Amino acid sequence: MGRPSLPVGTHGRIKVTAKSNGGYVARTKFRDFDGVTRPVERTGQTRTSATNALMEALRDRTSAAGGLVTADTKFRDVADLWLEDVRSSVDAGEMSPNSLDLYERQLRNYVRPALGELSIREVNTPRVDALLRGVRKRRGASTTKTVRSVVSGIMGLAARHGATSVNPTRETKRITADRKRSVRALTREERQRWLAQLESDRQAVRKDLPDLTRWMMATGVRIGEALAVSWDETDLDAGTVDIDWTIVRVRGVGLRRMPPKTESGERTLRLPPFAVAMLRRRRRLAALDREIGPGTAVPVFPDALGGWRDPNNTRRDLRSARGTEGFAWVTSHVFRKTCATILDEAKLTPREIADQLGHSRPSMTQDVYLGRKVVNPATAEALERELGT
């Protein structure tokens, strides 16, 4: 029985011999990606330099063959390839830049330190499970799930290259969710006190926080969606607004105005009369007497220079305005929760509330038989009753 062939993309034992005229030569056999085994050799003044030159030539040979991932490829190198795929998805608009930032952070903080120096063949279920247990103990279920997604994506890429037959994350222990903290909504009395506090704070007024708060409670939009609304997407005569964009900060790029992550995020909302009146007042104060044509993006809630406003900076402004007592628990998400609570108390259906908030689908039946961009006057009427006085 003959000696078994080398696996494709691997080399045999390296032999280093001295040359008669000085120096050393390192030799091995490499099975190329066409299945043919060929000799490869490199020279150097020392044994180490000759070996290093040969190893570099073998790496170049792998790259020239299309960067094929093998079982001996380092996990860190496959992680780099996977991250490039994620960046391509972001550039194509298929994934949020925030997701890319999150994956990069968890890869840097947890995955690379634990698995980066291992070869693909060495990344097995016990090692991945140990990583996840450690992250869960330190950071909780949410971070652990993201770490698991990162490892699964990288090993899935390795599997597609034929470097592994199984994705080791599949057999890891199921990650159970942490107990969710209840999210409070502002009561009627709290809403009045909150707005009075903002109106009496000159810094909050200068930062345009009172109107922004009213807008978010009147619509239930996310903070990035609120800051992405432009005047050409409002119809004050019809009392509607199109929510078609969100503002995100992309590291190394700056602010970008992007479509929502899901189709359900794109929606048309009926505005309560008090919100329409607020928009008319803002147009007058902004001296926007001219008609703003379709496609002319002029922010409804601009920054100090008239451009798009940064959600991260706005969250910081809200934290400063809320103080340390009384409203220390208030975040931008509370305004969204407040809108949802008002609509729920007004006996609107889950489908109607989901359409207002741009949430994911409550059920397949509702998705198939109900339109996504329904203009619902009942939501505006309920919000007007609670917030318009």
What is the pTM (predicted TM-score) of this model? 0.65
Q: Give yes or no for a contact between 229 and 64, defined as CB atoms under 8 angstroms apart.
A: no
The pLDDT of residue 178 is: 61
What tokens appear for 85 in the block? 């795929």
Q: Which of 284, 314, 309 is nearest to 297 (CA)?
A: 309
Percent of the residues in the chain that have a pLDDT greater than 90, as a whole number: 49
Name the β-bridge partners of 31: 37
**What is the rounded distance in angstroms from the CA atom of residue 161 to the CA atom of residue 170?**
18
What are the backbone dihedrals phi and psi of residue 42, each rounded to the nearest 5 degrees, phi first?
-145, 155
The rounded percent of the chain whose pLDDT value lies above 70 is 88
Q: In which region does residue 253 sit, left (phi positive, over 0), alpha (psi from -120 to 50) or beta (all else)?
A: alpha
CATH class for the domain made up of 75-171: mainly alpha
Cβ neighbors of 121 (< 8 A, separation 6 or more) are 71, 72, 163, 164
Domain-by-domain residue ranges, the chain? 15-64, 75-171, 188-387
Within 231-310, where are the H helices? Answer: 273-285
17 sits in which H/E element = strand 15-18
Average pLDDT over residues 266-270: 91
Amino acid at 21: N
Res. 17: pLDDT tops 60: yes
Q: What are the φ/ψ torsions at residue 124 (nearest 5 degrees)?
A: -115, 175
Q: Is the pLDDT of residue 179 over 70?
A: no
Angle between helices 188-199 and 209-219 (to 10 degrees): 150
Domain spanning 188-387, CATH class? mainly alpha
What 3-state DSSP class applies to 58? Answer: helix
Q: Average pLDDT, stretch 156-185?
A: 81
pLDDT of residue 214: 96
Residue 65 has pLDDT above 60, yes or no: no
For residue 334, pLDDT over 80 is answered with yes
Q: How does residue 192 score in pLDDT terms, banded at 50, 70 and 90?
A: very high
- The pLDDT value given to residue 366: 35
* Mean pLDDT for the stretch of residues 7-18: 85
| Statement: residue 230 has pLDDT above 50 | yes
Pairing of strands 37-44, 234-235: unpaired
- The distance of Cα 344 from the centroid of its chain, to the nearest Å, equals 29
pLDDT at 377 (0 to 100): 76
Structure-block tokens of residue 159: 């599997």
* Band (182; pLDDT cuts 50, 70, 90): low
Mean pLDDT throughout 176-189?
75
pLDDT in tens, 78-135: 999 899 888 888 877 777 888 888 999 999 999 999 999 999 999 999 999 999 999 9
The CA distance from 40 to 20, in Å, is: 19
Kindly indicate the confidence band of residue 70, based on its pLDDT and cuts at 50, 70 and 90. confident
pLDDT band at 291 (very low <50, low <70, confident <90, very high): low
| Over residues 22-39, mean pLDDT | 86
pLDDT band at 351 (very low <50, low <70, confident <90, very high): confident
How many CA atoms, within 13 angstroms, populate the side-chain half-sphere of residue 57? 21
Which residues, including other chains, have CB under 8 Å from residue 89's CB and lie 6 or more apart? 95
